[in-house]
Chain A
Amino acid sequence: GAVVSQHPSRVICKSGTSVKIECRSLDFQATTMFWYRQFPKQSLMLMATSNEGSKATYEQGVEKDKFLINHASLTLSTLTVTSAHPEDSSFYICSARDPDRVGYGYTFGSGTRLTVV
């Protein structure tokens, strides 16, 4: 149980285009999901908290107009990197929690490797 699917696993896009990353909870409903970003050889950094049916909460320093988060249903949150630039190239990963399995913590997706050329 508590499976989180993230898609795509890898994407290459041109500068100036937008890329959408999906995070789905497959066997549970998630009112809250988290989006993280990881630079090479660095920590995963929390970008934002995605709340179902309301606006996302962004961490300090994260541009909300650049990283659009939509959590329109209890099983899907999307992160859209708008007008991507090479410095946006990174590893993005989401997490969610099965409310019936609180003691097991959050489940992570397998991540998305974004390369902007």
Chain B
Amino acid sequence: GNSVTQMEGPVTLSEEAFLTINCTYTATGYPSLFWYVQYPGEGLQLLLKATKADDKGSNKGFEATYRKETTSFHLEKGSVQVSDSAVYFCALSAYGDSWGKLQFGAGTQVVVTP
């Protein structure tokens, strides 16, 4: 079956540091890949997505590239801010373009200190 594996947290880093959260997946066919973010007390928000190999999703300074050869979709940001403290979820959808039926990773908590 389909699965998503992402690095465990919490990840603690200082403001302006470089952030990487690793995500690998197992899926049949050609899934769409997503990163969601959950700020404290809020629902999940779509951060970025990629729907085919070599696509790069980007938003708010975050980037992730769909790497089919390594089945990965690592999230990166060059200079984090305190406001980036949140839980980040990697997810895939293998159901066409509905993007609704999602398989999630366990989530990675990121804590950015001033």
Contact = CB atoms under 8 A, between A and B. Distances in A.
A108 B100 contact: no
A54 interface: no
A4 B43 contact: yes
B102 A46 contact: yes
B82 interface: no
Contact of A97 (B34, B89, B100): B100
Contacts, number: 54
A105 B9 CA distance: 26
Interface residues of A, number: 24
Given A105-B49, A110-B43, A43 B100 contact: no
15 contacts: A4-B43, A6-B43, A34-B100, A36-B104, A43-B4, A46-B101, A46-B102, A95-B44, A102-B97, A105-B46, A105-B100, A106-B46, A106-B99, A107-B46, A108-B44
Given A34-B102, A44-B89, 19 more contacts: A34-B100, A34-B101, A36-B104, A41-B106, A43-B104, A43-B106, A45-B104, A46-B102, A95-B100, A95-B102, A105-B34, A105-B46, A105-B49, A106-B99, A106-B102, A107-B46, A108-B36, A108-B45, A110-B41
